[in-house]
Structure 1
């Protein structure tokens, strides 16, 4: 299967599952629900759901089991973007080429939409899921919660805000992005693998090392694109990090140094999943896809 075919199939599967009438049924708070759906369906390449499905595939699991964690992690990701765009955070007007949630609706509604997307993600994963044991679901919940909180994404966002107008070193930057971006990407890979009832320690370690590498590569790529691309292509304001005087891999390593870093991380990701053989081919293709966008 080509990566394009997998991507199209997985995204169709994701959209069909999200469209199920029992996922987000009609609510009295219609405007809030509209803001949630706007934020969740506002484009995007669905990298995190793709990683959930690809990891489940690598572990030879039924992809139907991956529908729940795929949607749950995208809900958390969408919530993080809604809040990240708020005036108190990055104060951005564009997200994926469209007005950000607080512009399309209003600031209070955007805050509530983010809150609700986050809690609905955990509600989704905590209901009985046919084919998954209570232990598997509990482990998925713990994985997602840890990746979302102070030891994951939220902690990384705090470090990011704390670095504005300050000189930080490469170690600080990597710690920040391993939390802010890498934690949810790693959770995506691990939650897909957790669809398997008896995952070996060797497989878990291989996927964990792969996820660490592509999680950081994804952010290096983002920093490069913020310099070499334009607002229309990015779907968000080009040069936003520079305008806010935020440290990036480009500002610390230079453009060529950042590209070399991305290449090294790509090689590390591929090496990590060599033991998984052909079952991990789609994970390799996702790593290629991430790096190809910066070359």
Structure 2
């Protein structure tokens, strides 16, 4: 089975389970439930749940055990996008090729939808049909990645940096929290479901850290080179908001060289594994070669 076919199968599985896990739009409060489903279903690369599945595959985890963390990390990601797009944050009107949630509904509903998606993510992990120690491990990994020491902290640094010139160290740290922490949690949760040992977890952390940064460097490059139609979101937004980016600090060629270096780090981190890690390798390539 090729990586593309495997990813398509995983995406279909994840989509079906997310659909079943979210409340019906016919159930009151209908507006909130409609907004939750709008923010999650029918779009997105599903990179984070795919990383859960691929990391679990390395250690022979069952697909049933991987379902809850795969859904949970995608719900956290979706909630973060809903909130990031709000006027008080990035003030964006386009996401995944359609109006952002606060534009399609209203700001109050979007805030509540994000809150509810975050709560649903943790309830899915808490109710997962796995050993209690595994549930706690996944809850701990996702909570740390989503909070002030991870994604929320990175977003706060991003807001603080608007209009300021960041150093490479500051920019790298910001994105390690804002983007990288959730990617790292996705990989770690998948590995935990396969009962990976500590040395394996450390190797996969190195892979995930490099992947998270590579994902952001590629995002910054696409923000310069791609159109809004191609991206499905507003192109040139970072430059318009006077934010530091890798191309801004390194130049476009320098940013591409940085991306190549991160590819090497990912390859080295997975060098000790055989074909069981091919899906992870393919996701690494997808992150750096994507055009949207």
Matches within 5 A, 1:187-202: 187-196=185-194, 198-202=195-199
Q: Partner of 1:109 in structure 2?
A: 109
Tell me how far apart the structure 2 counterparts of residues 210 and 79 of structure 1 sit (CA, whole Å).
Answer: 25
Q: Partner of 2:141 in structure 1?
A: 143
| Native 8 Å contact 1:203 1:276 kept in 2 | no
Structure 1 stretch 148-157 or stretch 11-20: which is displaced more?
A: 11-20
Q: Partner of 2:155 in structure 1?
A: 157
Q: Partner of 1:231 in structure 2?
A: 228
Q: Partner of 2:217 in structure 1?
A: 220
Tell me how far apart the structure 2 counterparts of residues 32 and 105 of structure 1 sit (CA, whole Å).
Answer: 9
Tell me how far apart the structure 2 counterparts of residues 167 and 125 of structure 1 sit (CA, whole Å).
Answer: 39
Q: CA deviation at 1:42?
A: 4.4
Structure 1 stretch 149-158 or stretch 36-45: which is displaced more?
A: 36-45
Tell me how far apart the structure 2 counterparts of residues 23 and 40 of structure 1 sit (CA, whole Å).
Answer: 9
TM-score normalized by the length of structure 2: 0.97
Tell me how far apart the structure 2 counterparts of residues 113 and 17 of structure 1 sit (CA, whole Å).
Answer: 18
Tell me how far apart the structure 1 counterparts of residues 247 and 42 of structure 2 sit (CA, whole Å).
Answer: 28
1:24 and 2:23 correspond: yes
For 1:111, what is the secondary structure of its paired residue?
Answer: helix
1:250 and 2:247 correspond: yes
For 1:275, what is the secondary structure of its paired residue?
Answer: coil
Residue 205 to residue 226, structure 1, CA distance change in 2 (3 Å)? same
Q: Partner of 1:83 in structure 2?
A: 83
Q: CA deviation at 1:23?
A: 4.8
Tell me how far apart the structure 1 counterparts of residues 263 and 51 of structure 2 sit (CA, whole Å).
Answer: 15
Tell me how far apart the structure 1 counterparts of residues 10 and 210 of structure 2 sit (CA, whole Å).
Answer: 23
| Native 8 Å contact 1:42 1:98 kept in 2 | no
- 4+ aligned runs moved over 3 Å, structure 1: none
For 2:272, what is the secondary structure of its paired residue?
Answer: helix
Q: Partner of 2:95 in structure 1?
A: 95
Structure 1 stretch 11-20 or stretch 219-228: which is displaced more?
A: 11-20
Tell me how far apart the structure 1 counterparts of residues 185 and 104 of structure 2 sit (CA, whole Å).
Answer: 30
For 2:254, what is the secondary structure of its paired residue?
Answer: helix
Tell me how far apart the structure 2 counterparts of residues 16 and 41 of structure 1 sit (CA, whole Å).
Answer: 9
For 2:87, what is the secondary structure of its paired residue?
Answer: coil
1:274 and 2:271 correspond: yes
CA shift digits 1:141-190 (9 cap, x unpaired): 01000000000000000000111111110000000000000000000100
Tell me how far apart the structure 2 counterparts of residues 12 and 137 of structure 1 sit (CA, whole Å).
Answer: 24
| Native 8 Å contact 1:186 1:215 kept in 2 | yes
Unmatched 5+ residue regions in structure 2? none
CA shift digits 1:180-234 (9 cap, x unpaired): 00000000100111112x3212211111110010000000000000000000000
Tell me how far apart the structure 2 counterparts of residues 6 and 271 of structure 1 sit (CA, whole Å).
Answer: 24
Matched residues, number: 291
Unmatched 5+ residue regions in structure 1? none
For 2:82, what is the secondary structure of its paired residue?
Answer: helix
C-alpha root-mean-square deviation of aligned residues, in Å? 1.3
CA shift digits 1:13-63 (9 cap, x unpaired): 10121233x653564211100000000014111000100000011111111
